[in-house]
């Protein structure tokens, strides 16, 4: 039956989705209710005193004005700092699409049923994509509750844009993880490669931001994290070319995964 | 339609790895299994049984050759074939956090019929005395195996492919399993069963294929395999081995390979027990132990017999 794998995946994932969502939203809520404790003008002066490399590590370039706002504070305190944390959930989900079941041997049982390999991959990809959306919705709810509880003046629409921009980012990371797992087969090796990919991307983004205005700046363009910059989103709203880039790349990674998975042996 | 082939394998080979690490797991296998028979696929561990089964299920791809089930190609028509077969893997892994009922429901929903299949699954679980309300992680290995059997059989498949089906099952459940297989055969369904346990194959199979080092050495009826069967017999006497017993045993044509160790005599025996029992009755027998030959020994005996016949 079409959708059976999708539904089962959702059934076995919703608890993790809720736990991750609650954890991340609690972090966001905490940052939001701390906003009134800070004077944003002092904050700007403080940021200006930091060396560029430190600012780059928390996702801040030379556009300090945008961070001297309540929204900017949340962007630095939550979205900038937590970029690597947001990558963990989609990596975990990406590993579940094929690698975990192949490692355990449960994929043999599933693929002995009347279901194509491609259908398993697509339905799981969609289900874990939905769970990423669920996590992001919970994060937004946490931020919104923080706004209401703390009586904080925040542009809720801008906050929503920064939050929901996470969806294409997380789906892209999940698709990249799935592709690596499909190619290298072994769960532990795949996990190592994906972790290295995320950390190297983070370092390249940091170098790019720290070297703004120099010849080294284009290095940052290589990192996918550069295309999720909370400051830029606060200033410009949804940056559709970047979103389209994430969506297209995710689609390409999915197609490459399907191509490879269809042709190789299972579980060896 | 007894000779109608359900499964036809032609020149099927599988090589793992590349370069110096390349291993030939299956070498140009040709095999045919007929509708309504229980076919035993017998071989020692590492002979290529599981590789064959995984190739039939399209979990791995052949290096050369092809296989057809119900006349359909196992690669091109795998989904249609999977609709009509049931499979129990040798090393069964199920979703640990789910209950038996949840897994049955999941598998049934992938098969597209939750109600009918689940009902039959309930009957099978009852027959096997399986509690499906428990999580897989709380089940013993034997009960996991029972759940695997339920999943493989709950949609009444035309062909059952079972890899070492009774491993971990207690003798009572093994007997229930044998009865289920008899019932299957009576309904005209087909079973392809791999095993390295000769007695299991003897108990339920019609024909046997013997696989060794990736090559099919023989396909014979169970009776023919049984004819070359022998047993190792150990007799332990309370006091001493009776005088003249060695000579008496050597004179029996059904007994060979006699060795004595203290009060214990070990021998290789074919045929009836009566001549042996008469011979050892002169002493006080403390223990009599009969040991089934290993598959390798059966295999060697079978072929040495064949060679003698051809001389």
- The tens digit of pLDDT for each residue in B124-168 reads 999 999 999 999 999 999 999 999 999 999 999 999 999 999 887
Last residue of a domain, one of B180, B203, B227: B227
Q: Note whether B165 and B196 are same-domain residues.
A: yes
Q: Is residue B242 assigned to a domain?
A: yes
Span B200-221, mean pLDDT? Answer: 88
Averaged pLDDT for residues B281-307: 76
Mapped onto helix, strand or coil, the DSSP state of residue A39 is coil
In a domain, B217, yes or no: yes
Q: Cβ A109–B89 below 8 Å, yes or no? A: yes
Per CB distance under 8 Å, which residues of A are interface residues toward B?
1, 4-5, 7-8, 12, 104-106, 108-116, 263-268
- The one-character DSSP state at A266 is S
The residue among B158, B221, B230, B167 whose CA lies nearest residue B194 is: B167
Domain that holds residue B254: 231-292
Residue of B nearest to A100 (CA): B95
pTM assigned to the model: 0.85
Per-residue model confidence as pLDDT tens digits over A228-260 = 878 788 878 888 999 999 999 999 999 999 999
Asked if B277 and B223 sit in the same domain, the reply is no
Specify the range with the lowest mean pLDDT, choosing from A63-77, A106-120, B79-93.
A63-77
**Residue A10 near residue A127 (C-beta atoms within 8 A):** yes
| Structural domain contains residue B301 | no
If asked whether residues B244 and B179 sit together in one domain, one would say no
Residue B311 lies in a domain: no
For residue B302, being part of any structural domain is answered with: no
* B250 and B211 within one domain: no
Q: What is the number of structural domains in chain A? A: 1
In this structure, the answer to whether residues B240 and B136 fall within a common structural domain is no
Q: Is B194 part of a structural domain of the chain?
A: yes
Q: Is residue A268 part of a domain?
A: no
Contacts of B94 in chain A (CB under 8 A): 106, 109
Q: Which of A8, A106, A111 has its CB closest to that of B59?
A: A111
Chain A residues with beta carbon closer than 8 angstroms to that of B112: 1, 4, 114
Q: What residues of A are in contact with residue B148 (Cβ under 8 Å)?
A: 109
Q: Give the burial class of B282: count Cβ atoms within 10 A of its Cβ; 0-12 exposed, 13-18 middle, 19 or more buried.
A: middle
Nearest to A122 by CA among A188, A186, A182: A182
Write out the residues of chain B at the interface with chain A, using a CB-CB cutoff of 8 A. 16, 54, 57-61, 79-80, 82-83, 85, 87, 89, 91-95, 97-98, 106-107, 109-112, 148, 151
Task: Say yes or no to pLDDT of A177 above 90.
Answer: yes
| Residues B38 and B165 grouped into a single domain | yes
ipTM surpasses 0.90: no
Average pLDDT across chain B, whole number: 89
Q: Note whether B215 and B253 are same-domain residues.
A: no
Domain-terminating residue out of B170, B195, B227: B227
Please report the sign of the dihedral spanned by the C-alpha atoms of residue A106, residue A111, residue A114, residue A120.
positive
Closest approach of A105 to chain B, Cα-based (Å): 5
Q: Is the pLDDT assigned to residue B308 strictly greater than 60?
A: no
Q: Is residue B142 located within the same domain as residue B263?
A: no
Considering CB atoms only, which of A1, A12, A111 is closest to B109? A1
Q: For residue B307, what pLDDT band results from cuts at 50, 70 and 90?
A: very low
Structural contact between residues A143 and A74, judged by C-beta atoms closer than 8 angstroms: yes
Q: Is residue A122 part of a domain?
A: yes
Give residues with Cβ within 8 angstroms of A88, minimum separation 6: none
Where in the sequence is the domain holding A205, given as residue range(s)?
Answer: 4-263
- The answer on B219 and B94 residing in a single domain is yes
Q: Let me know if residue B298 belongs to a domain.
A: no
Residue B308 lies in a domain: no
**B47 and B158 part of one domain:** yes
Number of domain units in chain B: 2
Same domain, B154 and B56: yes
Q: Write out the two tokens for A87.
A: 């990558």
CB pairs A-B closer than 8 Å: 72
CATH at residue B280: 3.30.70.100
A237 in a domain, yes or no?
yes
């Amino acid at each position: 039956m079409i959708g059976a794998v999708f539904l089962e995946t959702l059934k076995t994932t919703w608890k993790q989705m809720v736990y991750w969502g609650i954890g991340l939203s609690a972090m966001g809520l905490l940052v939001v209710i701390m906003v009134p404790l800070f004077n944003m003008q002092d904050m700007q002066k403080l940021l200006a005193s930091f060396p560029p490399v430190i600012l780059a590590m928390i996702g801040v370039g030379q556009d300090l004005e945008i961070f001297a706002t309540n929204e900017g504070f949340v962007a630095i305190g939550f979205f900038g700092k937590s970029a690597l944390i947001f990558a963990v959930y989609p990596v975990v989900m990406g590993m579940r699409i094929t690698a975990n079941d192949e490692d355990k041997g449960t994929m043999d049982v599933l693929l002995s049923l009347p279901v194509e390999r491609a259908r398993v991959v697509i339905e799981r990809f969609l289900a874990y994509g939905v769970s990423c959306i669920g996590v992001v919705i919970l994060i937004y709810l946490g931020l919104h509750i923080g706004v209401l509880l703390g009586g904080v003046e925040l542009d809720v629409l801008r906050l929503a844009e920064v939050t929901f921009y996470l969806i294409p980012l997380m789906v892209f990371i999940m698709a990249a993880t799935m592709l690596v797992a499909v190619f290298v087969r072994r769960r532990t090796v795949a996990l190592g490669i994906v972790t290295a990919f995320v950390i190297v991307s983070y370092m390249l983004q940091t170098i790019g931001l720290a070297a703004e205005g120099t010849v080294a700046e284009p290095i940052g363009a290589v990192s996918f994290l550069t295309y999720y910059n909370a400051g830029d989103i606060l200033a410009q709203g949804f940056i559709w070319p970047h979103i389209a880039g994430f969506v297209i790349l995710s689609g390409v990674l999915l197609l490459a995964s399907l191509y490879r998975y269809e042709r190789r042996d299972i579980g060896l | 339609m007894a000779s109608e082939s359900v499964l036809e394998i032609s020149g099927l080979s599988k090589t793992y790895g590349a370069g110096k690490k390349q291993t030939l797991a299956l070498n140009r296998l040709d095999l045919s299994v007929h509708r309504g028979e229980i076919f035993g696929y017998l071989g020692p561990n590492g002979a290529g049984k599981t590789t064959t089964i995984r190739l039939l299920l399209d979990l791995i791809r052949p290096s050369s050759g092809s296989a057809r089930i119900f006349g359909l190609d196992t690669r091109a028509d795998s989904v249609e074939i999977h609709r009509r077969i049931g499979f129990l893997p040798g090393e069964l892994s199920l979703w640990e956090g789910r209950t038996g009922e949840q897994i049955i429901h999941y598998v049934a929903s992938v098969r597209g019929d939750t109600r009918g299949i689940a009902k039959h699954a309930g009957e099978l679980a009852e027959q096997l005395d399986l509690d499906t309300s428990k999580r897989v992680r709380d089940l013993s290995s034997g009960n996991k195996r029972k759940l695997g059997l339920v999943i493989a059989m709950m949609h009444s498949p035309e062909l059952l492919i079972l890899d070492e089906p009774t491993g971990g099952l207690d003798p009572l459940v093994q007997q229930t399993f044998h009865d289920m297989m008899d019932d299957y055969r009576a309904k005209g369904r087909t079973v392809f069963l791999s095993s390295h346990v000769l007695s299991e194959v003897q108990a339920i199979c019609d024909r046997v294929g013997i696989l060794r080092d990736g090559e099919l050495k023989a396909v014979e009826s169970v009776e023919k395999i049984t004819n070359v069967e022998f047993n190792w017999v150990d007799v332990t006497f309370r006091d001493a081995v009776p005088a003249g017993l060695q000579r008496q045993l050597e004179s029996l044509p059904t007994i060979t390979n006699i060795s004595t160790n203290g009060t214990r005599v070990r021998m290789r025996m074919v045929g009836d027990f009566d001549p042996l029992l008469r011979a050892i009755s002169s002493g006080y027998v403390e223990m009599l132990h009969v040991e089934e030959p290993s598959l390798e020994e059966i295999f060697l005996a079978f072929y040495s017999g064949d060679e003698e016949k051809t001389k």
